[in-house]
A and B are shown apart, each in its own frame.
Chain A
Amino acid sequence: DVKVTQSSRYLVKRTGEKVFLECVQDMDHENMFWYRQDPGLGLRLIYFSYDVKMKEKGDIPEGYSVSREKKERFSLILESASTNQTSMYLCASNRQNSPLHFGNGTRLTVT
């Protein structure tokens, strides 16, 4: 079974802090994704990566950056956390033309 592991289930950070969310997958998938999930808005794509060191902006990239130095690891970075970035963050991975596999999510609270 594919495993997508997000390093933290819950995080509480202060406004202005730099925040790192880590995601690791163990199935050698080319593609990795970061989504944000908010009630009533569904899942919105922040960034995705289709190869090491390659990235593309999704629908809501503002205030976020990403890093993919190794194929199995995809990091989401909040350069200066703000309260409107309080949300559930979901990492996913797949091969092209196959379904997404999701991690269990990181619930981030910014105070």
Chain B
Amino acid sequence: AQSVTQPDIHITVSEGASLELRCNYSYGATPYLFWYVQSPGQGLQLLLKYFSGDTLVQGIKGFEAEFKRSQSSFNLRKPSVHWSDAAEYFCAAETPGTYKYIFGTGTRLKVLA
């Protein structure tokens, strides 16, 4: 069965430190891949997407993600975290050409001042 796994439920980092959030997928073929961020009480906002091509994808708010086919991973990174990055982050995948998105269970990021 297709799945998206975010192994870390909670992550705590200090402001200014680097960040990596993990995402692994299990699909028959390479899906479209997305990272979304959700602030408390809000909907999900798209950070970045990967459809094909360059495996390093730049997004908004200084985030980037790297697609690694051999590891079935799409990890999200940021070189220096700001207090305003505290939120919940969701990885998602879509089988191309379908309406079927699968979301990970989310990683809640806490940022220490």
Contacts and interface: CB of A to CB of B under 8 A. Distances in A.
Interface of A: 4, 9, 31, 33, 40-43, 45, 48, 50, 56, 90, 92, 96-97, 99-105, 107
Size bracket of the B interface: 20 to 34
Interface stretch (B12-20, B79-87, B100-108): B100-108
B82 to A, nearest CB: 22
A102 B105 contact: no
Contacts of A90: 43-44
Contact of A105 (B36, B41, B104, B105): B41
Interface string B28-48: 000010101000011111100
B53 interface: no
**Which of B32, B36, B49, B103 gathers the greatest number of chain A CB atoms within 10 Å?**
B103
B89 to A, nearest CB: 12
A97 B103 contact: no
A105 B43 CA distance: 6
Contacts of A45: 100-101
A35 B14 CA distance: 33
B103 A48 contact: no
A105 B44 CA distance: 9
B92 to A, nearest CB: 8
Contacts of B27: none
Given A43-B90, A97-B32, A97-B51, A102 B96 contact: no
Contacts of B101: 33, 43, 45, 100
A103 B42 CA distance: 8
B44 to A, nearest CB: 4
A104 B38 CA distance: 9
Given A40-B105, A42-B105, A99-B34, A104 B99 contact: no
Given A43-B44, A50-B99, A90-B44, 19 more contacts: A4-B43, A9-B41, A33-B99, A33-B101, A41-B105, A43-B92, A43-B103, A48-B99, A56-B99, A92-B44, A100-B34, A100-B44, A100-B46, A102-B44, A102-B45, A104-B41, A104-B42, A105-B41, A105-B42
